[in-house]
Amino acid sequence: MDGILLQTVEGLGDAPLVRTGCEIWEWLQGEKEEVAHELLSDGPLCQTAVSGVQEAEAPEENSREIEWRHRGHLEARLREINDAQDRLMDGAYGRCTDCGAEIDSLRLAADPAASLCIACRRSIEAEAVFCTL
């Protein structure tokens, strides 16, 4: 068991990760690979969209827009996971990046990449609703 953990940590240099941090790291890493895989599988479509910008009035514009939005979500998720890994390295993991409060452990269990406490998350979501109204 320890051997496996050591192997995983090797690539990270001398990061002072405790065992729980290691487990979180591995979860984040797995999640990241999944998201990256999904992004890559969208790759060819992305290239088509870039080279076909001039034909933006084509009928498939809507589905492209949806694809782009989906891609944006995936990229945002990837950033979120990367940030969580950074915080894990810094020892800042588990704290709200906005107000610095401790993030609820249940919330972290549901989404280890969570970067905001519930209060901050809610206020951002409330703002987002106002923006779309």
Rg (CA), the chain: 19
Contacts of 125 (CB under 8 A, 6+ apart): none
Neighbours of 58 (CB within 10 A): 11
Which CB atom, from 63 or from 123, has the smaller least distance to Zn ion? 123
Q: How far is the CB of 105 from Zn ion (least distance, A)?
A: 15
Q: How far is the CB of 28 from Zn ion (least distance, A)?
A: 20
| Dihedral sign (CA 31, 37, 86, 99) | negative
Q: How far is the CB of 88 from Zn ion (least distance, A)?
A: 18
Which CB atom, from 49 or from 114, has the smaller least distance to Zn ion? 114
Q: Which residues bind Zn ion (CB under 5 A)?
A: 96, 98-99, 101, 117, 120
Which CB atom, from 46 or from 120, has the smaller least distance to Zn ion? 120
